[in-house]
């Protein structure tokens, strides 16, 4: 059985950021990730907010991300375009950058810090006591750690095994999202009309078109197809813009849930394992990275014996309200009462889109 001070389940942005934080503090940390590699199918989340860029800057790695993306000093809220250039920070902008680039850059940084990442390996269960946590892996191996951090997504095995409640509410809307090739140039930006809302962005020069369109029904089963995207676009635009290929297709809803507690003894939750909500705007990625920064230094202090375990309770006290605000913010819905035929034309998405 291999021993570590901390084991992190999940090598997404949250887990990688937490691993980096702990490694910088001299903590023996290891990451287990069910995917076979850190390569991510599809572009996923589209960017970073000013606060996330600030915390990356504090770690000396912000430029790695800024060099790959496009900055934007315009934000959106409820179909209003907001100038954020007067925010009291030298990072008074958002950054449009695909999640796969964020993950790759974080993984490179964590690798430089010497953190082992065990790909193709998933936590199947664990048992904790006053001395630590014994962690079972899907390949039959076991790890022992002082603490276990669940950064393993909205369907978190760690959260379920810990018995932490995940209250919230069921979805009221469903959207299709895809990275596609088109035969015609679509109307760039974010749009809303009587049929619902939809958007067209290009995250990278020469890259695929990111299409997002409201689906006609909530609760559809099965994986969405290119045909589903075409049909939804035809319903709201009268054309599918000659879509001919898709690198990635997915479906998301506004299902909203938050862990009742971010800590159960020696087990802690961060990122989507702790909170899920409407993903428009990239709030999951940004909130998760900021969770990791808040938790990382505290966990390091406790592991090194510099602070009592009670310090870990301040993680929940400080971060639970932040995600609660994301969960309860009244996002504009496809058929909400904002004026119809509204557009926010822009080929490259701001992180708030």
Is the same domain home to 85 and 192? no
Closest CA to 333 of 198, 173, 189: 173
What residues have CB less than 8 Å from 68, skipping those under 6 apart?
Answer: 97, 101, 105
Are 181 and 157 in the same domain?
no
Residues 240, 184: one domain?
yes
pLDDT score recorded for residue 111 = 97
Could you tell me where the DSSP H helices lie in 183-282? 226-237
Task: Print the domain residue range for 287.
Answer: 4-167+256-328
Considering the domain architecture, whether residues 160 and 179 belong to the same structural domain is answered as: no
In this predicted model, what pLDDT tens digit does every residue of 109-120 receive, in sequence order? Answer: 999 999 999 999
Lowest mean pLDDT among 50-59, 219-228, 239-248, 284-293: 219-228
Is residue 10 domain-shared with residue 65, that is, in the same domain? yes
The CATH number assigned to the domain holding 305 equals 3.50.50.60
- Are residues 200 and 134 part of one domain? no
311 pLDDT band, cuts 50/70/90, is very high
113 and 25 together in one domain: yes
pLDDT at 334: 42
Residues 215 and 178 placed together within one structural domain of the fold: yes
Same domain, 265 and 245: no
Same domain, 48 and 147: yes
Average pLDDT along the chain: 88
279 to 192, 208, 255: CA distances (angstroms): 17, 20, 10
Domain presence at residue 338: no
Instruction: Based on the fold, state whether residues 22 and 72 are members of the same structural domain.
Output: yes
**pLDDT tens by residue, 86-135:** 888 999 999 988 888 999 999 999 999 999 999 999 999 999 999 999 99
3-state percent helix, strand, coil for the chain, nearest multiple of 5: 30, 30, 40
Report pLDDT digits (tens) over 138-162: 999 999 999 999 999 999 999 999 9
Q: How many domains does the structure of the chain reveal?
A: 2
């Amino acid at each position: 059985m291999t021993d570590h001070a901390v084991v992190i389940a999940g090598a997404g942005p949250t887990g990688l950021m937490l691993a980096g934080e702990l490694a910088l503090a001299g903590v023996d940390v290891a990451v287990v990730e069910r995917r076979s590699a850190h390569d991510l199918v599809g572009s996923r989340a589209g960017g970073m907010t000013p606060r996330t860029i600030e915390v990356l800057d504090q770690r000396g790695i912000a430029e790695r991300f800024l060099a790959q993306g496009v900055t934007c000093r315009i934000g959106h809220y409820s179909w209003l375009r907001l100038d954020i250039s007067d925010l009291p920070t030298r990072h008074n902008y958002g950054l449009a950058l695909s999640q796969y680039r964020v993950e790759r850059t974080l993984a490179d940084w964590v690798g430089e810090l010497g953190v082992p990442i065990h790909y193709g390996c998933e936590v199947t269960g664990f048992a904790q006591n006053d001395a630590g946590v014994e962690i079972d892996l899907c390949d039959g191996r076991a790890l022992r750690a002082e603490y276990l951090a669940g950064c393993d997504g909205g369907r978190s095995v760690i959260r379920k095994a810990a018995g932490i409640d995940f209250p919230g509410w069921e979805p009221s809307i469903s959207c299709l999202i895809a990275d596609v090739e088109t035969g015609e140039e679509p109307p760039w930006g974010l749009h809303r009309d009587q049929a619902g809302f939809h958007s067209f962005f290009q995250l990278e020069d020469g890259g695929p078109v990111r299409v997002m369109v409201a689906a006609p029904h909530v609760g559809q089963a099965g994986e969405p197809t290119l045909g589903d995207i075409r049909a939804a676009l035809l319903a709201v635009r009268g054309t599918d813009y000659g879509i001919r290929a898709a690198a990635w297709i997915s479906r998301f809803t506004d299902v909203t849930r938050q862990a009742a507690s971010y800590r159960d003894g020696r087990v802690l939750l961060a990122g989507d394992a702790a909170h899920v909500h409407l993903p428009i705007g990239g709030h999951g990625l940004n909130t998760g990275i900021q969770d990791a920064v808040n938790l990382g230094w505290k966990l390091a202090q406790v592991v090194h014996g510099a602070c009592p375990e009670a310090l870990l309770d301040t993680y929940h006290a400080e971060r639970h309200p932040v995600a609660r605000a994301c969960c309860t913010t009244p996002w504009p819905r496809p058929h909400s009462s904002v004026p119809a035929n509204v557009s926010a034309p822009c080929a490259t998405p701001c992180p708030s889109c």
